[in-house]
Chains A and B, each alone.
Chain A
Amino acid sequence: MNEKEVIAFLKETKQTPSPDAVDRCINSLPDIQKPNRLLPLVRLQLRSMPASVYIWALTAVAFQIFLAVSLSPMDALMATGISSAIVALLFGWHLMLSRAGSMIEIEKCCKYSYGQIMLARILCLSSLTLAALLAAVIPSAGFSHMGITFMLAATLPTLIGALMALLWANHIGNSDFAQLTMYLVATLITSLMLEWIVEAGILLICAIQLITLTALVLQTKNLTNRRIDYEAYHY
């Protein structure tokens, strides 16, 4: 019998044993720890962003389309990578959202840890940036000269930026400022290396993407399941 069935069974037999015996039995059952679920938190963060963030996303899409169409493939690729960092900077204030309204203390006292809240924001930010990038690059592939190699490579700065921010959150600390800095620096460095990565070939690009995505999933899972979190508060 699972816990629900046990409780139902005991309630039915309540009349037979002494009145408080069943209650004591139910109370002594161990609490089932419900793990914090990530998806509701990500959806919550998506819904909590102000409309201006989505306007920035549309602006980023327009800019990326312009780059893809008007520049040579390599220049467009480098510019896309750097513009991902700029877009991340524009969205990045969302990572600092808690400071905007002095919400940081309240959010640090919630059941979801602050690290998990930051995780959800990084995933929102990365998803928006990637979606903006792919929304621009894929349709324009037909009328620009960007091939599949370039399109796959263009996603690397955002993916690696997100991974670096999560690694920092998981193993170093909860500072939102530090995570945003890691995100931007990693995005920028990766975009500057894109030319070399593309020249190395599509296999290397796919390998980097696979490793990055696997690491992202593992870091996300680690942060989501973490129940004990030392909140370092920088006054």
Chain B
Amino acid sequence: MKLTITDLTKKFGHKTAVNHVDLELTPGIIGLLGPNGAGKTTMIRLLCDLIQPDSGAVLLDGENIRFMGEDYRDILGYLPQKVGYYPWFTAEKYLMYIAALKGLSTEEAAAKTKDLLEQVGLYSERKKRLGAFSGGMLQRVGIAQALLNDPKILILDEPTAGLDPQERIRFRTMIAGLARDRLVILSTHIVTDVEHIATQVVMLRSGKVVAHDTIGHIRNTLTGKVCTLTVSAEEAEQYRQTHLVANMQPVGEKIMLRLVCPNGFPDGAVPVEPDLEDAYLAYCGREDVC
């Protein structure tokens, strides 16, 4: 199974949200990273055939998804950024409703609903109305509905928003288990979510793909370009204006900065191994520094 994106473009008025994007996505977990306004959600909506591109196409094994209709939706699972729900539904009824819309029989729907509610840790709350759920609980119900039809293509937009650390770990474990023969696209700001489970990373900035590779290769592009430097608080503030600062950690009276410096280290800096967050900063960070 291969999802091919060819010269995909989408504009909203004068703003180009997705700008001539070309990608080839194969089964595994693909992390879609980018700052706010990079075009991630627009890209996801294009992949879900929710909006039509101004040019280009999304092809599934050579077939344009725009002309596949029901056949594409049948293998698609989607969790939007804002989980939609009817407040008067209970969690169980909500999943049964979505399962029916996805074409599952009543028996299949009942079995999947029970299984998924247990997986997301909400089985004991299944009779509670969704209107009374917290944000994190709604997010978990949203994840469950995306998995109802056992999708081959699973697209998750900010899936861990509102989840506490324990829930995030549980979510990562669940997704990692699913990705064997599925294409999972995980759009997020939280780099650590992607770093732990993704097989590939796509970084978007201003509607364009600035990086697409495995996490290891992307990290390696920054070898020798990431350092730490211990400075005073006043100097730290200056470095913040002029450099890409990945982290600031108080060390006694001073501050240890973690800097991403593609053009050379400042004096006294100590090189360190880069991580994905450094890469994110380098590819998607400010253009006016370093």
Contact = CB atoms under 8 A, between A and B. Distances in A.
Q: Is the interface of B mostly helix, strand, loop or mixed?
A: loop
Interface stretch (A123-131, A160-168, A205-213, A225-233): A225-233
A107 B272 CA distance: 47
Interface stretch (A82-90, A108-116, A135-143, A182-190): A108-116
Nearest to A100: B86
A175 interface: no
B103 A112 contact: yes
A168 to B, nearest CB: 19
B80 A106 contact: yes
Q: Is the interface of A mostly helix, strand, loop or mixed?
A: loop
Nearest to B148: A110
A111 B103 contact: yes
Given A100-B86, A111-B149, A228-B70, A235 B12 contact: yes
A15 interface: no
A23 interface: no
Interface of B: 12, 45, 48-52, 66-71, 73-74, 76-78, 80, 82-89, 97-98, 100-103, 145, 149
Given A106-B80, A109-B78, 12 more contacts: A41-B100, A48-B97, A50-B86, A98-B84, A100-B86, A102-B80, A102-B83, A105-B45, A105-B80, A109-B73, A226-B69, A235-B51
Top 8 closest A-B pairs, CB basis? A228-B69, A103-B84, A110-B101, A111-B103, A102-B84, A109-B78, A105-B80, A233-B50
Interface of A: 34, 36, 40-41, 44, 48, 50, 97-98, 100-113, 117, 226-233, 235
10 contacts: A36-B103, A44-B100, A48-B97, A104-B84, A106-B78, A109-B78, A111-B149, A113-B70, A228-B69, A229-B69
